Amino acid sequence: MNKPALTAMRKQAQGGFTLIELIVVIVILGILAATALPRFGNLSGDARLASMNAARGALLSLASVAHGQAQINPAAAALPAGINFEGTAVTFVNTYPAANANTAIAAGLNAADYTVVANNGSMVIRPASLPAATNCSITYNEAANATTAPVITTMQNITAADCTQ
């Protein structure tokens, strides 16, 4: 190989990024991080909202299964101890689960994740990590009669913003 061609190849092999190119890349990465980070920070509200929807589904499932058990064995449902679900005694009102903490526990809503407040045939469930003043909650109202299922509702037009601290 001739000497000028060899020198040109060595110059190409030693070439790299200049300092200004590295700074431009770092600035671009900083801008991308600054715009993406707030989007990830707001996911906690979405997660709590999804958790509340899952809790509502768990309560609906428990109410349906418990009602079926009460129809099959009305004598057991009438007992003060109720029927055992998931190791928890569930009491009944009008052949549906009563609005109390045992109903929430049998539905898989544990005290570490949810706050349950039962009062006169109604129970309000909210994430344990949120204060009581937030709208991020669901309400379980006992069945009015044996042919009407309990009413399980979320707050009106609940959004992820309602479930953010």
Answer yes or no: are the C-beta atoms of 115 and 129 closer than 8 Å.
Answer: no
Higher pLDDT, 14 or 39: 39
- Could you tell me if residue 70 is inside a domain? yes
Q: Structure pTM?
A: 0.73
- Could you tell me if residue 28 is inside a domain? no
- Could you tell me if residue 81 is inside a domain? yes
Higher pLDDT, 73 or 27: 27
- Could you tell me if residue 35 is inside a domain? no
The rounded distance, in Å, linking the Cα atoms of 44 and 162 is 11
pLDDT digits (tens, 9 = 90+) for 62-120: 999 999 998 898 888 888 888 888 889 999 999 999 999 999 999 999 989 999 999 99
Can you give the residue range of the structural domain that contains 147? 46-163
- Could you tell me if residue 134 is inside a domain? yes
- Could you tell me if residue 152 is inside a domain? yes
Which H or E run includes 75?
helix 74-78
Sequence-distant (≥ 6) Cβ neighbours of residue 70 within 8 angstroms: 76, 77, 83, 92, 95, 96
- Could you tell me if residue 34 is inside a domain? no
Considering its fold, how many domains does the chain have in total? 1
- Could you tell me if residue 11 is inside a domain? no
